[in-house]
Amino acid sequence: MQRKTKKTQAIVDGSKFKIAIVTTKFNEDIVGGMLGGALETLKKNKVAEKNIEIVWVPGALEIPLACQRLAKTKKYQGLVALGCVIKGDTDHYYHVSKESIRGVMNVMLGFNISIGVGIITVNNLKQAQDRSGTKNNKGTEAAQAMLEMV
């Protein structure tokens, strides 16, 4: 682990890393922006395009199983999990948010693999758009966190 006193992004030499990104088809317009941010971050940190695999899953609840299957292969140094859960009129939002993030955490700890968690949980579409654009991209942050932990 790196210790820093300032909030700066460390540059990691990822030239020998194999990374998989698990991303959802649900809310694809939002998650697509996050995916772009994650890919840009990996490239900035020298992860070769040929060493990046993108795995699409239906929704946030399917992310943990995909992460588990990828972790079991022992082929990857790290994973990035990207999804977007927008609050609706029912409690479904709470269950999906909690369980998808908990499932990813279980994979991370169970397989001792760094997973950058970019599953955003927001109240509305505007908040989701704000977290998937160029200025405040949670996909970028998830990829950076994963790289620093590898």
What DSSP assignment string belongs to 74-99? T--SEEEEEEEEE--SSTHHHHHHHH
pLDDT tier for residue 13 given thresholds of 50, 70 and 90: very high
pLDDT at 5: 45
Nearest to 67 by CA among 141, 15, 128, 118: 118
* Structure confidence by residue, pLDDT tens digits, 26-39: 999 999 999 999 99
Convert the pLDDT of each residue in 49-90 to its tens digit. Answer: 999 999 999 999 999 999 999 999 999 999 999 999 999 888
Active site residues: 92
Averaged pLDDT score across all residues of the chain: 93
Is the per-residue pLDDT at 108 higher than 90?
yes
- The strand pair at 114-122 and 52-57 is best described as unpaired
Could you tell me if 57 and 93 are in contact, meaning their C-beta atoms sit under 8 angstroms apart? no
**Domain with residues 27-149, CATH architecture:** 3-Layer(aba) Sandwich (3.40)
- pLDDT at residue 70, rounded to an integer: 98
Instruction: Write the DSSP assignment of 38-56 as a string of letters.
Output: HHHHHHHTT--GGGEEEEE
Q: Is the pTM of the predicted complex or chain greater than 0.85? A: yes
Domain ranges of the chain: 27-149
Instruction: Specify whether the CB–CB gap between 118 and 146 falls below 8 A.
Output: no
Tens-digit pLDDT profile for residues 113-143? 999 999 999 999 999 999 998 889 999 999 9
